Amino acid sequence: MKFLQELLVDYHPRDFEIKLWDGTRWQPDAGQFRRFTWKINSPTAVRSVFTSASQLALAEAYICNDFDIDGDIESIFPLADYFSNLSSARKLHLGALLLTLPASPNHQRSNHAP
């Protein structure tokens, strides 16, 4: 997915795996221990988080089961910081790439069970 490739191009070392809604998996950078797996459950989830003005968008997506974390959940905080520190120009460029994500009109949020 071009959006995630561009989003993470400067994030190193990537010590987590990404699992996309279509079953695609991206392994951690070579030589990195997998601290967690970031499961992205739909392209709609990506769009909603990265177009949100809320700094809590990732947490909200997790609560609504748009994303899931398997492993050390605290290890996602550096990634969230990276996202929140992207420049305006970078966000604009990434915003254009969000339009290339496939549609998933059947995606419905479902809260994590307690």
Provide the CATH number for the domain around residue 77: 3.30.1050
Structure confidence at residue 36 as a pLDDT band (50, 70, 90)? very high
If one counts the domains in the chain, the total is 1
106 within some domain: no
113 assigned to some structural domain: no
**pLDDT number for residue 37:** 96
Confidence band (pLDDT; 50, 70, 90) for 80?
Answer: confident
For 79, how many CA atoms within 13 A lie in the half-sphere containing its CB?
A: 22
What are the tens digits of pLDDT across the range 7-26? 999 999 999 999 999 999 99
- Domain range holding 51? 2-98
Q: Give the closest residue to 61 by CA, choosing from 27, 2, 112.
A: 112
Query: Does residue 35 belong to any structural domain of this protein?
Result: yes
